[in-house]
Structure 1
């Protein structure tokens, strides 16, 4: 019986399949990230309009911390498929702490350096600025940083950390032979 991934690939146009298979780690990472983006948005909005109404940076930080835990489990078990041994959890924590900082900096700049907040702008403009700076720009920059750092330092074997190379499970493409 084919796996869910194989069933999904069967529905993708044939010309895209080699690209998706070759970059499967990135594709899985982006799928996990998409789900966590939605979860972060829901938690952030709930917090901003309830208990943390006047603390948008704190609300985004809490939402990001919660979804970082979800991201760890999904990335470890599915996207990067590691056994969880070694310094992985500590490295993930360090990378995630840095990424959370990267994620909230655009929101803090928008709110407090650019004064895109009430009374300087309307409530609607404030919320649009918060979403674009914190959820879109911050998440995008943090996502790029996380993928690079996770692949480089966190979800690797000790051998890969010492000698990074091609993703396991794939043979190098054959070089064309010169035909006389």
Structure 2
């Protein structure tokens, strides 16, 4: 029994059908959770050490690393049965869209810091940290994630490979 089968077996029947119907979104969300941890860890590691005076740069670096991990996980797991494109075209589109996503992830932090001045000396260090987390890790994440979900499905992994007649990736594996 695969890991997916064993997890599905533990979900109550009415939720199991919902999980199966929305499995791509659930997988995308799980990948997002993993990359959120990567992004947050790198962001704070940089922001609190070597890039303490450059929080937006810290955020951009963190998102770029998380994006690399995200590409591999989304391509090989979340959207495994979609795409139908040459790998280099797919990767180019993925990273262009992710580049736009980096702007969406970083923009709320930039607004918080440089337009609203939610940073020391204008506010306390505690307020600065709460504002940074809210702007970068919540608002930015939600904006970027919503955009990327829509754009990946529309342009990077647009259709089911079986519908296009393209060679299928391993459909024998359980989605």
1:58 aligns to what SS in structure 2?
helix
Name the Cα RMSD after superposition. Answer: 2.1
**Aligned counterpart, 2:76:** 77
Give the total of aligned pairs.
Answer: 162
TM-score by length of 1: 0.85
**Aligned counterpart, 2:135:** 133
Any idea what the Cα deviations from partners look like across 1:8-61, whole Å, max 9, x if unmatched?
111111110111100100000000000100110000000001110000000000
**Aligned counterpart, 2:168:** none
Larger RCO (alpha carbons 8 Å, 6+ apart)? 2
What is the CA–CA distance in structure 2 between the aligned matches of 1:63 and 1:113, rounded to whole Å? 22
Q: Is the 8 A contact 2:84 2:161 kept in 1?
A: no
What is the CA distance between 1:85 and its match in structure 2?
4.5
Deviates more, 1:148-157 or 1:37-46: 148-157
What is the CA distance between 1:158 and its match in structure 2?
9.1
Find 1:90's aligned residue among 86, 92, 96. 92
In structure 2, list runs of 5 or more residues that go unmatched.
Answer: 165-170
Find 1:151's aligned residue among 150, 153, 160. 153
Structure 1 residue 116 corresponds to structure 2 residue 115: no
Structure 1 residue 100 corresponds to structure 2 residue 77: no
Q: Is the 8 A contact 1:76 1:84 kept in 2?
A: no
**Which runs of at least 4 in structure 1 moved beyond 6 Å after TM superposition?**
none
**Aligned counterpart, 1:55:** 54
Select the structure that is richer in helix: 2
What is the CA–CA distance in structure 2 between the aligned matches of 1:9 and 1:158, rounded to whole Å? 23
Q: Is the 8 A contact 2:84 2:159 kept in 1?
A: no
Computing the radius of gyration from Cα coordinates, the structure with the larger value is 1
1:119 aligns to what SS in structure 2?
coil
TM-score by length of 2: 0.87
**Aligned counterpart, 2:7:** 8
